[in-house]
Structure 1
């Protein structure tokens, strides 16, 4: 296998230096291990030659549809849709996508200028840029974009990153950035095995299997039932790219393997600092194509909250990447599937080498230009323990200043996260200069932590914040609780899939059961007449609490809202006291939660969220979207000695996907 053990050893593994060849319409970079060809001046990766294969990218595709950066954007100044960009046809997002802003257009980023940034035997870095000026209004996203590609000596792969800039001049129009990413389309005759995680890797269907004559589109066009696939083993399976999405925290390496020749193609993201939405944000990665993506900005599993919006003349600059495109191979006769293990090892090497020292752009700060924050995080809940408790595995990070929990909707700048050890100790390293708040959340406890002090990072700083104490929301003792406060609905009842709509990979994977297609339809089968009733002390949330409160399908194929009941007993009700109902939601999509106590038919609910959420996690096979926490005061006069019922109504029912996923529910007694 070709690899490298560390950045410092680059150049020692191959006697051949990096060679740069500039042609009329192409640029070729070669280090003797692989050769990368890019269109000039557009900066599209048209070819990757490796291990005897002339091109690992799909040679049947047009050169512009092989390896590229693209962008989805919308004007915010009333000009509406814009025209085709550089001759690339506009691709409007499906109107069925609640995550996508209306009038958003997908654009291939074609540069207009080429420049050699660094050329030496040890390293070549080239730039493909596209400046913007007001004369281009209505034709291009109002951004200066500089795409960079780097090839090192002795390195079995190449790096790419980009600098996006919106200038602080009134001539620069307002716009929203719905999505930006790097995409690679691999040869469908070679790459058939995909790996995105240890428990999500398999031989995959062909893109041809999704065509109308071989596949039947389901409720969402991305989900296709394979009725006549090229390989009979896939007949009757559902293929949907969203079944393979990953959270940022787990999305560091993914890709494809070819058996003939034995080659691996991997996309490695060594840092999350440039991705939006924090560690739990879910993104697409690899899927049938064979396609391999690095998504930097995207609204999936969140909706419009994760679409950054820039005002007219609002200054902004951000570096996306570098990400590493890694190639590996094995000798004839060796198991090609071991390439996945090697890719994971290489991911570890890349992560330990972050931030890279070799990118030439001054906008990418080097290791000595960054700072560090360390300390300890404790939890204080006197109803659980008289002493402050050390956190273990809590997520703690720096993100731009904002409200408590604002990090999960932050989508313009940089975030830096780590986890506490068993003693609650943490160290956040390689932080870019700037002003931040420190945020955290602790699995097993409600809510979000934010330190009120602003933290200013300067080059070389080493800041000790000492022992921090998070006091999660709590007014009184727990009378009852449902679920685990972990920002996910995974602990609740996820039904078996319809045998006619399965992905065989997940059939023996209870941890991935929620990724099966069509589970929302199971609610109406389980509760054809009345709705879910959960009895405290008798019911088991892993068996009796459906993973999502979805509408019920009626006989006429329309849908109706649902009302779930929580039954419980109380003794010694304090009429003059206030009880507290904590409701943590793991996701919501164009939904509403109404709460009533002991009177289902009361015209006005005690509490309503109003219409919330656009995460669309249910049809996208997610087990959470964005996190919501509500704290409801319940007067003792509403409660009864003995039997009580709390009603949770989700009345919205124009579509089967208007629904809520719960994370955790708790009723607290008076303090």
Structure 2
């Protein structure tokens, strides 16, 4: 009874709080949007379209279209390192305002979370300013909403009904947030993951309402083009519809953990409410994308922007057509996937190897590039240029960037393109996330150079068995001292290991006992297209190769269910 009484009391106080701005509006003073403290570290904020009741940790009420859209769910909160640390708000105040908007700042010891509320906007712009976050891997804001109002989910690669919570009750838990049903299928939140930099709008929705995140500026995200994240899901224990905003995430990475400077800012992004229309959310995305970077955001670092352009030319004279281009940390020994302390920009070169990145925050960066397949699918090397300076309101133009590549004339065979993804291999599509799809790849496989197709090679390897590559050599070059075997992995989850043999002699291995192969969280969380890319190179002694028939074997010697590696490409070449 005390709990019910307390809820009714807060609701009554909230109703009183909402009335004050209305009276102020009638008198012609100030914006309609409001923040009011109602006691016991509880505040009400919003406008005439919606309002939220915010406590020390959780915004446990969201009034919109005549109903509370949180209900028995948890609500809105900000946290880091998973659910280990939810931020506690010690105060709230109107930080700034205009004739038709307010900027509400909630303060915690780690930093400040802002809601920019416009009188006529269903939703709010949000951003976070760091002051004392610890070193972390995961940092997020999120909504956990009423499952009746929001039964469906949407990302750029998946749309449909979120699994009802009742289905989890009769299923068997087989790993982290993954259950197997009686018919053998799986329920897992990770099937609702996606590539974070390709998002337009995503969220949860129903027949009456939709709650969406729209992040037009993605420079505050960690990671490169292929950074994947969990976006939405059904909370298995409570049934909450979960809308995640993983502004620094690690769900599919190996070692993304960062320290942040005081003042590091994530956002602004738009949290947007509507009647559940995806078409309307898409239109709103287009409007926000055109407006980014936001002129209204009064922050010197955010507004201090320039651009960079250039052209990549390979050392063999070809343009680096379609290359992936990444602007990240300068002089770093961290992979582009794991970089995350500052701000990051991604683009792809055009057919001529030209690229341009606009609206880059002023600062010093590292410029990286690698093959994205296509006409440069044979390029295994990457490009790095450090100490690239971006000056506010200036274009840093680099006419030609020379990219050293190896001579492909020495190549004996190549299976798959160097593009950091599993595209083209069996079972790599149609969707990039599906739990246990790797178990559908065969334990034993034979691929014959010159006769087999790329689609005969499976996207991932995990089960005990041997994948063999048969190839014929008509002659041995007199100039060749030996050979090199390159295993390019689009992802790797530790738990399975393999030996690589050439004509029954071991030349290498794929195992977690290597600094290059720290386990990432990709195959066992259902990633089928990409995870964290690795490049393994193994020398082959002269004399191992012979004229006539030869064979490379990738022999899995130990296996853990759903753990293994995603294939990008495998190459053998003379050296």
Shorter-chain TM-score category? 0.7 to 0.9
Does the CA-based 8 Å contact 1:128-1:146 persist in structure 2?
yes
Counterpart Cα distance in 1 of 2:526 and 2:461: 15
Residue in 2 aligned with 1:139?
Answer: none
Q: Does 1:222 align with 2:177?
A: yes
Does the CA-based 8 Å contact 1:518-1:619 persist in structure 2?
yes
Does the CA-based 8 Å contact 1:238-1:517 persist in structure 2?
yes
Residue in 2 aligned with 1:372?
Answer: 307
Residue in 2 aligned with 1:9?
Answer: none
Residue in 1 aligned with 2:500?
Answer: 595
Q: Does 1:518 align with 2:518?
A: no
Counterpart Cα distance in 1 of 2:364 and 2:301: 17
Q: Does 1:242 align with 2:190?
A: yes
Counterpart Cα distance in 2 of 1:48 and 1:480: 59
CA RMSD of aligned residues (A): 2.7
1:117 to 95, 99, 102: 95
Does the CA-based 8 Å contact 1:587-1:613 persist in structure 2?
no
How far the C-alpha of 1:580 sits from its partner, in A, is: 3.0
Are the structure 2 counterparts of residues 426 and 268 from structure 1 closer, same or farther at C-alpha, using a change threshold of 3 Å? same
How far the C-alpha of 1:616 sits from its partner, in A, is: 2.9
Does the CA-based 8 Å contact 1:279-1:417 persist in structure 2?
yes
How many residue pairs match? The answer is: 530
Residue in 1 aligned with 2:52?
Answer: 37
Residue in 1 aligned with 2:453?
Answer: 540
After the TM superposition, which residues 614-653 of structure 1 pair with which residues of structure 2 at under 5 Å, given as runs?
Answer: 614-623=519-528, 624-653=530-559
1:256 to 204, 213, 218: 204
Alignment partner of 1:68: what SS?
strand
Show CA shifts across 1:500-538 (max 9, x none). Answer: xxxxxxxxxx411x6333334334xx44xxx32222122
Does the CA-based 8 Å contact 2:177-2:188 persist in structure 1?
yes
Are the structure 2 counterparts of residues 453 and 641 from structure 1 closer, same or farther at C-alpha, using a change threshold of 3 Å? same
How far the C-alpha of 1:151 sits from its partner, in A, is: 0.8
TM-score in terms of structure 1 length: 0.73
Q: Does 1:296 align with 2:308?
A: no
Show CA shifts across 1:148-190 (max 9, x none). Answer: 11112332320111112349xxxxxxx5313111110122112
Does the CA-based 8 Å contact 1:576-1:636 persist in structure 2?
no
Residue in 2 aligned with 1:580?
Answer: 484
Residue in 1 aligned with 2:404?
Answer: 471
Alignment partner of 2:372: what SS?
coil
Alignment partner of 2:358: what SS?
strand
After the TM superposition, which residues 459-498 of structure 1 pair with which residues of structure 2 at under 5 Å, given as runs?
Answer: 459-474=392-407, 476-494=409-427
Counterpart Cα distance in 2 of 1:484 and 1:414: 29
Alignment partner of 1:409: what SS?
coil
After the TM superposition, which residues 398-477 of structure 1 pair with which residues of structure 2 at under 5 Å, given as runs?
Answer: 398-403=327-332, 406-444=335-373, 445=377, 446-447=379-380, 449-474=382-407, 476-477=409-410
How far the C-alpha of 1:292 sits from its partner, in A, is: 0.6
Are the structure 2 counterparts of residues 252 and 165 from structure 1 closer, same or farther at C-alpha, using a change threshold of 3 Å? farther
How far the C-alpha of 1:315 sits from its partner, in A, is: 5.2
Does the CA-based 8 Å contact 2:492-2:523 persist in structure 1?
no
Counterpart Cα distance in 1 of 2:472 and 2:510: 24
Show CA shifts across 1:232-289 (max 9, x none). Answer: xxx8753211112111222231112221x3x221111112211111221110101123
Counterpart Cα distance in 1 of 2:218 and 2:396: 21
Residue in 2 aligned with 1:203?
Answer: 161
Are the structure 2 counterparts of residues 657 and 516 from structure 1 closer, same or farther at C-alpha, using a change threshold of 3 Å? closer
Counterpart Cα distance in 2 of 1:22 and 1:541: 62
Alignment partner of 1:115: what SS?
strand
Alignment partner of 2:571: what SS?
strand
Show CA shifts across 1:19-69 (max 9, x none). Answer: 31412234333443x2232425x364333333x23322x2113xxx20111
How far the C-alpha of 1:480 sits from its partner, in A, is: 1.6
Q: Which runs of 5+ in 1 are unaligned?
A: 1-14, 74-90, 92-105, 132-143, 168-174, 228-234, 330-335, 496-509, 553-561
Residue in 2 aligned with 1:345?
Answer: 283
Counterpart Cα distance in 2 of 1:535 and 1:316: 56
How far the C-alpha of 1:632 sits from its partner, in A, is: 2.9
Alignment partner of 1:343: what SS?
helix
How far the C-alpha of 1:417 sits from its partner, in A, is: 1.6
